Amino acid sequence: MIHFDNVTKTYANQGRPALESVSLDVEKGEFVFLVGPSGSGKSTFLRLVLKEERPTSGRIHVAGKDLARLTNWKVPHLRRRIGCVFQDFRLLPNKNVYQNIAFALEVIGKPRRFIRKVVPEVIDLVGLEGKRDRMPDELSGGEQQRVAMARAFVNRPMILLADEPTGNIDPATSIGIMKVLDRINRTGTTVVMATHDAAIVDSMRKRVIELEYGKVVRDQSRGVYGQAY
Amino acid sequence: MRAQFVFHEVWIGLRRNLTMTVALIVVVAISLSLLGTGLLFVKQVDNTRSWWQSRVQLSVYLCTSSALGGTCAKNGAVTPAERTAIKNELLQTHDILSIQYVSQSQAVAQFRQEFADNQTLVKYLVKYSASQIPSSFEIRLKNTEADAAAVTSVMNGAPGVADVVDDTTLLDQLYKLLDGARNAVVVIAIFLLVAAILLVANTIRLSAFNRRRETSIMRLVGASNFYVQLPFLAEGMIAGLIGWLVATGLLIGAKALLLSSLQSIFPLGVQLSTADLVEVIIVAMITGLLICGSTSFLTLRRYLRV
């Protein structure tokens, strides 16, 4: 599903590469934690998958597409197959729960009938029944992140990228968020989650890829956050 | 669905940027109406020019007993022999369209007719100085602009000729005035169009900044560039269209008030038709849409990259 072949990314005006010679494969339906300290290259990895950045060298395939060959005007179609969740939720403050989720479908031109059908379904999936008319500022952090997840998932993407989705949320609420991510993963969606949260990584026992200074230093199935052999 | 969504976004954009939008509309309206006025002026001047082109003539006034110009003071009134000589001389100039002899009595009759509403003057003239009204040759040239000067110089000073009056020299002054007014209007319009372009760019930039959240999410969920940019593009175009509508009103008003009153000075044959006005309004619309659309598009390319 995601294939990195010897990928190096160096940002302009920076000496050290943000990612250096990274080669890895993420299979369809996998759940992968991306761990490592700040600046280790987790966000760069996610940005490369979305083609928000181009690699300095190396090849990237996402959902069977060679990103180097993907023309600019086809990038939106790639992104329709990838859902994204962020630490800061990125909801539209002037739209309610339902409108925030529907927005993601409206802007890719889905018919209204389809939107009316799938948005309530996904609201149920993330556990926000009965809150569809709330505005973002009337929701807790956990609830806002659920809305963001619903928005990321409503178009049934093949891949869900989550960049520290529990970074702004207390540990108790984080468990609920992880349950939703797990539920999404069980529908067959590949999930890649960058995180600092050791407790979550340890409790899920999923594949763990650890980055340090832009290099993969560990790739372990059913791993934990810290080094534990 | 799609259309409704886009229009909703456009409406939000226009409302959020109300002051800029209003400024944009006003500037577009004024610049387009000035441009239109300039174009109407051009048409008016062209029409007038071609109308006169077929009518201007050279008048070769012949000597009367009391005339002082040319050779008259020395030789006295024109003799029949001199008259024939003058006519032959004129006919030899090959590009003459028509030549007509106006005798003294005909000239007096013409004078009576032209000043029919001023009987005192007519009476006075006929009584005291009818003999001072000169007979003349009225000449039409095939190519007035090129040949008038040549004919004038040949005729001036010929025996029996008192004076040569070239209508074009009179008209040239009128044209100069009209051309000057037209140029001034067009120059101002161009300056304002430049202002309009900058304002469109600025409005779109502000709008893009105001909606950076929305656009970042749109890009994230894979909205096509067209979908991301269309609301902004439509925003610029709609402001341009409203500006054009205002300009249309102003142009119709300008034609009715300004040009029509100018036309009372001009001969009846050269009134601007409604078709002329419609043509100018269409040109203004195309200009407005082109300016607003292309500026929005170019601005968006800078501020809304994938």
The per-residue pLDDT for B81 is 82
The pTM of the full predicted model, rounded to 2 decimals, is: 0.71
Predicted local confidence at residue B263, as pLDDT: 65
Do B103 and B204 belong together in one domain?
A: no
> Which is nearest to A163 in space by CA: B220, B219, B222, B218?
B220
Neighbour tally for A186: CB within 10 Å: 11
Strand order in the sheet with A31-35: A82-86, A159-163, A190-195, A31-35, A207-212, A215-220
- The CATH number covering residue B101 comes to 3.30.70.3040
Residues B177 and B299 in one domain: yes
Identify whether residues B44 and B67 lie together within a single domain: no
**In the block, residue with structure tokens 């610029």:** B236
Residues of A with CB under 8 A from a CB of B: 50, 72-73, 75-82, 84, 90, 92-93, 103-104, 106-109, 111-112, 151-152, 155
How many domains is chain B built from?
A: 2
Alpha carbon B299 to chain centroid, angstroms = 35
Does B222 sit within 8 Å of A76, measured CB to CB? Answer: yes
B80 with B91, same domain?
A: yes
Q: Are residues B221 and B103 in the same domain?
A: no
* Angstroms from B6 CA to nearest CA on chain A: 9
Domain boundary among B123, B151, B167: B167
Task: Assess whether B19 and B39 both reside in one domain.
Answer: yes
In this prediction the ipTM stands at: 0.87
B178 and B299 fall within a common domain? yes
Assess whether B247 and B162 both reside in one domain.
Answer: no
- Does B7 share its domain with B58? no
CA distance linking residue B84 with residue B94, whole number of Å: 17
**Is there a single domain that holds both residue B176 and residue B45?**
yes
Is B2 within 8 Å of chain A by CB?
yes
Q: Decide if pLDDT at A187 tops 50.
A: yes
Last residue of a domain, one of B133, B167, B201: B167
The pLDDT-based confidence of A44 (bands split at 50, 70, 90) is very high
CB atoms near residue B204 (< 10 Å): 30
Distance, CA of B36 to CA of B17 (rounded, Å): 28
User: Can you give the pLDDT at residue B265?
Assistant: 66
- Judge if B156 and B226 occupy the same domain: no
pLDDT tens by residue, chain B, 306 residues: 567 777 887 887 778 778 888 888 888 898 888 888 888 877 877 777 777 766 767 888 888 877 777 677 777 777 888 888 888 877 877 577 778 888 888 888 887 787 777 788 777 777 777 777 888 888 887 776 677 777 777 777 778 888 888 777 777 787 788 788 878 888 888 888 888 888 888 888 888 888 888 888 988 898 888 888 888 888 888 888 999 999 999 888 887 887 667 666 665 556 777 888 888 899 989 988 888 888 888 888 876 665
pLDDT of A104 reads 93
| pLDDT recorded at residue A97 | 96
A153 Cα distance to chain centroid? 10
Q: Which domain holds residue B237?
A: 2-52+172-303
Nearest residue to A153 via CA among B26, B221, B8, B87: B221
Query: Do B47 and B196 have their domain in common?
Result: yes
Q: Which pLDDT score, from 0 to 100, does residue A229 have?
A: 44
Which of B152, B167, B182 is a domain's end point?
B167
What pLDDT is attached to residue B304? 66
